[in-house]
Chains A and B, each alone.
Chain A
Amino acid sequence: MTLSHLTDFPDRISPMLVKELRQGLRAKTFIVVFLTLQVFLGIMLLSASATSSSDRAGSVISGMIFTFFSIAVLVVQPIRGVAALSSEIKGNTIDMMVLTRLSAWRIVFGKWVALISQSALILSTIIPYLILRYFFGGMNLVGEIVFLALLFITSMALTAITVGLSGSSSAVIRAIIPLFGTPLLFIGLISMMFDGGGRQLIDTCSLDSPQSLIAVGIYILAIAYLGGSALSLGASLIAPAAENHSSFRRIVALTGMLGMLAAIYFSTIDRTLSLLLICLIATPAILIALTESALLVPTVCQPFVKRGAVGKAIGNFLYPGLASGIIFTVLIAAIGITACLIKPSLSASNEFYAVILAYLGALLFPAVIQAFFFRGDGQRVANYLLLMIGSGILTGILSALTEAMSNRDFLWLFVWNPTVLMSMVGMGRFDRDALLIAAISMNLIFVTILFIKAISLMKGNREMILQAEEERGASLGQSKL
């Protein structure tokens, strides 16, 4: 037996990463992608060098390199993440991992890092082709390097999203990602290759102006937040009840929202950008908070309980679970609305408020439906996302019908669906005041329903908090003795 073989990875590397790299580097998908990319790039450079008289040869090669690289790291690698956690759950191996010292976060993070490491390997192999491409001229060196880095960072986030969602036991949700995501990405990549969109993006990435720097900086932050949220969701989905991943995630979102509130108040931040950032921070935070398990165990209450009444009050927003998730959602929504109201420049019109409230309603709507029709904790995330997609499909059908019909008033019958309300605002043919009233009423109803659900769940939570207090009292008593 060759136990010396077991020293191929040093001890300081995460066990998950060691496992995933050992498996991943032998996986056919990776080998095929890796070799295909090399063959394509080799052929392309040879043919380009044969016709190097053309002035556009350099930019065509750049486009080809970026397209093939994008397909590999934005499509194939993230799709490999779709089965990352589900295969462990299906194979009954996740339980055995949970019983080791690996926390759910380390399992998810290890899976993600392993896929990213393989993407990095692909990235490193295209660098020689980029160096060769330099000799064809017409290269925006900084722009292309930054663009390449951003493609890689985007791949990191997309992989994080697929790895995170792979923790859902719903095969439907895992299928939706490749079914909808892949065609969208292909369309984007083809347009990049043929419409010169890639050139524009590379110019934006050249970091030669403050706007370019800010745009790249914000993009990286946004991608990091989205990726982090997705991985945290994955960790929550596979974690045992005694592990708390919610509080930290909520604190990050809350800090981001309060930071945005301060930025809007103290600076002249662009209205569209600020709104975009608020939605970007709030959307994953609300989505995850409203899909958490209803379960709370005394162990996770302990850190809050030991801080007395203040700790318990904070716990109502930060305890893991759906009850506090609903209260946290209301807090995040309140901060978001305040951010819209805080500066007169931001408060534009009734139409603007109606859109904001309809967007909020669209986030609450699936949770409200689940409160009525779905019992238990199983597949909460999958149900939420499917309801959201269903709501969008209904809106699409209704929009198509309105195109064919002269009377659009029938859309009022569907105004309970926030995405329909949003499309009604977009059509600009309905009374704006009425739409705003509808949006406010809808959100009030949704919040009331969710509050009732939260209160019913809190009865159970109270018992867990009491147990945590009793345990704390007992341990304090023991330590005094």
Chain B
Amino acid sequence: MSALKINNLYRYFGNLQAVNGVTFEIPHGSVCGFVGANGAGKTTTMRILATLDYPTLGSAEVCGINVVHHPAEVRRLIGWMPDHFGNYEHMTVLEYLDFYARALGYKGKERRDRIQEVMEFTDLIPLAERFSNKLSKGMTQRLGLGRALLHDPQVLIMDEPAAGLDPKARVELKHLIRVLAKEGKTIFISSHILSELGEMCDSLLFINNGRIVHHGDAETLRRSSDTMGGVLYDVQVDGKPESVSDWCILQPNVEFLEARKTGGRIRIDTQDPMKAADVLARMVKDGLRITEFHREQRNLEDAFIDILGRLDAGQDAITPPPLPEEKLMVEG
């Protein structure tokens, strides 16, 4: 049985198709990254899994339990960390966790032990008496994670937990997620920072316009994108950086991707290193004063852009079945 299972899920807000026929499964004990642009349908899908929203059509299950039909059971299994949440005025970190522990049904010593455990794990003990609305973003995220872990959930759903964090807080959060993953918790995490997801996640789900466009592990994604999308090179020149882009425009099989301080990043549509050598030779022959020319590792952002590019070109598009007419009427 999967920890998370979504089958042909649709969610419409009036005429807006937020989630459009999404299907995927995530096995127990794995960490899955959920990637997509703003408005792609990540938060809506996660909110449905967290029983906070309902699907227009389709089903979503957590550990085999339907989120719409048995929300109370599902809530015992999940920890939910939204992308942003306000903290209470006039309430300390300790009181904040105490409130949620009480609300989750913990009593007496068990409640205090649970709070102690969570505070130790998230390193909140030094902040215990600090008012919760006076915390930094990183501390707030740790508090949010502590709250989500109070009832020791099997599945943790985290919506953009690293958004707005400074590098130190990001590293701390990443460490906590790694520890939780080692403990065997299933973690479903969305983020814009693909490189970090690649390091943490067993698999990645790419969503675009409410549809899943890729589901696989980071390495496969990089490799498949490599074979499909050519090889990337960093080119630095002595002179005008624009000379690289100007040169690329006139070349077949060479694409200028992005400008850098003294040059740019280019893609050569071949895996053959000899062809890359030919390109370098042509550059030199055409008068470009090359100071650096080296192959770059394709990152997940490149892979994601490639996938979106292929979708725009009409390849690999997954067309979900249309939503029944009466469903649209109900929504109105």
A contact set with B: CB distance below 8 Å? 1-3, 5-6, 11, 15-16, 18-19, 22-23, 26-27, 87, 90-93, 95-102, 240-242, 294-295, 297-299, 375-376, 456-457, 459-460, 463, 471
Q: Is B60 an interface residue (CB 8 A)?
A: no
Q: Is B182 an interface residue (CB 8 A)?
A: no
Q: Across the interface, which residues of A come within 8 angstroms of B91, CB to CB?
A: 19, 22-23
B85's nearest neighbour on chain A, judged by CB, is A92
Complex: A15 Cα to B107 Cα, angstroms? 11
Within 8 A of A (CB), among B294-332: 326-327, 329-332
Q: Across the interface, which residues of B come within 8 angstroms of A242, CB to CB?
A: 51, 68-69, 71-72
Given A1-B94, A11-B107, A240-B71, verify A23-B330 contact (CB < 8 Å): no
Q: Which of B23-31, B109-117, B221-229, B274-282 contacts A (4 or more CB under 8 A)?
A: B109-117
Interface size on B, residues (CB 8 A): 50
Question: B50, B119, B330, B331: which has the most chain A beta carbons within 10 Å?
Answer: B330
Min C-beta distance of B74 to chain A, whole Å: 9
Q: Across the interface, which residues of B come within 8 angstroms of A456, CB to CB?
A: 329
Q: Is B87 an interface residue (CB 8 A)?
A: yes
| B103-A15 in contact (CB<8A) | yes
| B116-A3 in contact (CB<8A) | yes
Q: Across the interface, which residues of A come within 8 angstroms of B51, CB to CB?
A: 99, 240, 242
| A3-B115 in contact (CB<8A) | yes
| A15-B102 in contact (CB<8A) | yes
Q: Across the interface, which residues of B come within 8 angstroms of A297, CB to CB?
A: 54, 68-69
Question: B84, B89, B102: which has the most chain A beta carbons within 10 Å?
Answer: B102
Question: B50, B82, B100: which has the most chain A beta carbons within 10 Å?
Answer: B100
| B332-A375 in contact (CB<8A) | yes
Given A242-B68, A459-B330, verify A95-B52 contact (CB < 8 Å): yes
Min C-beta distance of A303 to chain B, whole Å: 14
Min C-beta distance of A378 to chain B, whole Å: 9
A295's nearest neighbour on chain B, judged by CB, is B54
| B54-A241 in contact (CB<8A) | yes
A242's nearest neighbour on chain B, judged by CB, is B71
| B52-A23 in contact (CB<8A) | no
A102's nearest neighbour on chain B, judged by CB, is B103
Complex: A297 Cα to B82 Cα, angstroms? 24
Q: Across the interface, which residues of B come within 8 angstroms of A463, CB to CB?
A: 326, 330
Q: Across the interface, which residues of A come within 8 angstroms of B327, CB to CB?
A: 460
| A97-B82 in contact (CB<8A) | no
Q: Is B252 an interface residue (CB 8 A)?
A: no
Q: A87-B86, A376-B13 given. 14 additional CB < 8 A pairs? A: A2-B94, A3-B116, A5-B94, A6-B95, A15-B102, A23-B90, A91-B85, A91-B87, A93-B86, A95-B47, A95-B52, A98-B52, A99-B51, A297-B68
| A460-B329 in contact (CB<8A) | yes
Q: Across the interface, which residues of A come within 8 angstroms of B71, CB to CB?
A: 240, 242, 299
Question: B69, B104, B327: which has the most chain A beta carbons within 10 Å?
Answer: B69
A377's nearest neighbour on chain B, judged by CB, is B331
Min C-beta distance of B63 to chain A, whole Å: 16
Q: Across the interface, which residues of B come within 8 angstroms of A241, CB to CB?
A: 54, 68
Question: B68, B111, B128: which has the most chain A beta carbons within 10 Å?
Answer: B68
A299's nearest neighbour on chain B, judged by CB, is B69
Nearest first, the 8 A-B pairs at minimum CB distance are: A91-B86, A460-B330, A15-B102, A100-B103, A26-B90, A15-B103, A19-B99, A92-B85
| B326-A96 in contact (CB<8A) | no
Min C-beta distance of B102 to chain A, whole Å: 4
Min C-beta distance of B113 to chain A, whole Å: 9
Given A101-B103, A102-B103, verify A90-B52 contact (CB < 8 Å): no
Interface string of B106-134 (1 = CB under 8 A from A): 01100110011001000001001100000
Complex: A299 Cα to B104 Cα, angstroms? 22
Within 8 A of A (CB), among B24-66: 47, 50-52, 54
| B119-A376 in contact (CB<8A) | no
Complex: A464 Cα to B168 Cα, angstroms? 49
Q: Is B170 an interface residue (CB 8 A)?
A: no
Q: Is B105 an interface residue (CB 8 A)?
A: yes
22 residue pairs bridging A and B, Cβ less than 8 Å apart: A1-B94, A3-B115, A15-B99, A19-B91, A19-B99, A92-B84, A95-B50, A95-B80, A97-B103, A99-B50, A100-B75, A100-B100, A101-B104, A241-B68, A242-B69, A298-B68, A299-B69, A299-B71, A375-B14, A376-B331, A376-B332, A459-B329
